[in-house]
């Protein structure tokens, strides 16, 4: 085994592809957290998005429709979450965990109702790589970055848009203000409740799309454990990226690299039992969070319900 294995272009290309669900989910979670909503249902929402995408594609034969269904499922769950958290001021982690369980159950239930019991699990069409003109012709870089499927390009665009909206528009300024100091934001006429609900809906759509990327780019099938902790890891990536979309996306690439490397190592090495290699990304995630937690500062009002009549 040589060091070249670690920089193999096909490995890097796989890592970029595998970063898609992490990039989209962490961008969605980040939008919500910046507005002050801590949504821990995200693992369930990724699973539900995957189920919705798979089932819509299975029933209607259209990948585009599948993505729409996934995004919609994310919006619906996030809207329910926001209503409990914002209007009813319920404890956000409790609501999030309940919705997490609901989404997991609902995903398998819908799958069972639509697909039924079969000997071999049905497959749907997966996205094919699109070679970008000019950029795709470059050596190595072209192969790694620009021989990818459409969702890779979309997630890069999402990171750019979320970054610009958050830090270069007045809407973004208001959103961040609501997450840091809702009392002050309210005083100057910002609608805290509406903005939080809107952030939840937009973030929910991205989380749902993250789910869609799993059957459409990685598996072609749906299974109960399809999310495999990616939703939870997106939660960690937001902290890792210090609540910035670019930082979270960089973390997603790093993490996806470890994930892809584990696949590669499993193919090369027979000495280590595969289960220990499979533990690797999760242990790595804990180690990364320990490092990232040092000096991390969350939005001031994260997880705290805003009550107009309560005294500060």
Partner 1 sequence: MTTEAAARGRWQVVWPYAGALAIALALLAALVAMLGGDAAQALAGLVRSSLGSGAGLGQTFNKTTPLLLGSLAVILGLRGGVFNIGVDGQIYAGAVAATGAAFVLSAGPKTAVLPAVLLAGLAGGAVWGSLPGVLRARLGVSEIFVTVMLNFVAVFLVEYLSTGPWNDPTAGEAITRAIPPQATLPYLWPRAGAHAGILLALAAAAGVWWLLFRTVFGYELRAAGDNPSAALLGGVPVRRAVGLALVASGALAGLAGAVEVSGFHYRLILGLSPGYGMMAILIAVLSRRHPLLAVPAAMGFAALLVGTDSLQRSVGLPASAVFVVQAVVLLVLLATEGVRRGGP
Binding site for partner 1 (CB under 8 A): 40, 43, 80, 84, 86-90, 93-95, 97-102, 104-109, 112-113, 117, 193, 224, 228-229, 232, 235-236, 239, 273, 275-276, 278-279, 282-283, 285-286, 289-290, 293-294, 306-308
Determine the 3-state secondary structure of 139 from DSSP.
Answer: coil
Closest distance of CB 183 from partner 1, Å: 13
Closer CB to partner 1, 89 or 168, in the complex: 89
| Cα 249 to Cα 265: distance, rounded to the nearest angstrom | 24
Angle at 283 between CA 16 and CA 267, to 5 degrees: 55
Cβ count within 10 A of residue 46:
35
CB of 131 to partner 1, least distance (A): 35
Two structure tokens written together for 249: 């996306």
Q: In the chain, which ranges are E strands? A: 130-131, 147-148
- Cβ 95 to partner 1 shortest distance, Å: 6
Tokens of 304: 């705290």
Identify the bridge partners of residue 148 per DSSP, sorted by sequence position. Answer: 130
CB 291 to partner 1: min, Å: 10
Torsional sign, CA 269, 272, 275, 278: negative
Nearer CB in complex with partner 1: 14/41: 41
Nearest-approach distance from CB 166 to partner 1, in angstroms: 22
Q: In angstroms, give the least distance from the CB of 37 to partner 1.
A: 14
- What are the backbone dihedrals phi and psi of residue 68, each rounded to the nearest 5 degrees, phi first? -60, -45
Q: Token pair 């109702």 is at which residue? A: 113
CA angle 166, 171, 175 (to 5 degrees): 65
CB nearer to partner 1: give 98 or 126: 98
Which residue's structure tokens are 């991390």? 296
What residues form DSSP beta bridges with 147?
131
């Amino acid at each position: 085994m040589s060091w070249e294995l670690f920089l193999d272009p096909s490995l890097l290309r796989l890592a970029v592809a595998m970063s898609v669900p992490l990039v989209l989910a962490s961008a969605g979670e980040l939008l919500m957290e910046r507005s002050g909503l801590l949504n821990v249902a995200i693992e369930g929402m990724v699973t539900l998005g995957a189920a919705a995408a798979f089932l819509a594609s299975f029933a209607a034969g259209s990948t585009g429709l599948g993505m729409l269904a996934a995004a919609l499922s994310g919006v619906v769950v996030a809207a329910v979450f926001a209503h409990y958290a914002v209007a009813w001021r319920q404890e956000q982690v409790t609501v999030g965990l309940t919705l997490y369980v609901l989404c997991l159950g609902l995903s398998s239930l819908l799958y069972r109702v639509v697909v039924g019991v079969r000997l071999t699990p049905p497959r749907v069409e997966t996205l094919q790589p699109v070679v970008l003109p000019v950029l795709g012709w470059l050596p190595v870089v072209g192969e790694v970055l620009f021989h990818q499927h459409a969702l890779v390009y979309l997630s890069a665009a999402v990171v750019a848009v979320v970054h610009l909206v958050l830090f270069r528009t007045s809407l973004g300024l208001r959103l961040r203000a609501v997450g840091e100091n809702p009392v002050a934001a309210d005083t100057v006429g910002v609608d805290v409740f509406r903005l939080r609900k809107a952030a939840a809906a937009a973030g929910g759509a991205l989380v749902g799309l993250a789910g869609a990327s799993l059957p459409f780019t990685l598996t072609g099938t749906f299974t109960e454990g399809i999310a495999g902790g990616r939703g939870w890891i997106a939660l960690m990536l937001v902290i890792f990226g210090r609540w910035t979309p670019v930082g979270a996306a960089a973390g997603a690439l790093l993490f996806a690299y470890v994930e892809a490397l584990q696949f590669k190592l499993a193919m090369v090495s027979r000495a280590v039992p595969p289960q220990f290699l499979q533990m690797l990304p999760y242990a790595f995630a804990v180690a990364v969070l320990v490092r990232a937690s040092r000096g991390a500062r969350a939005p001031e009002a994260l997880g705290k319900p805003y009550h107009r009549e309560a005294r500060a």
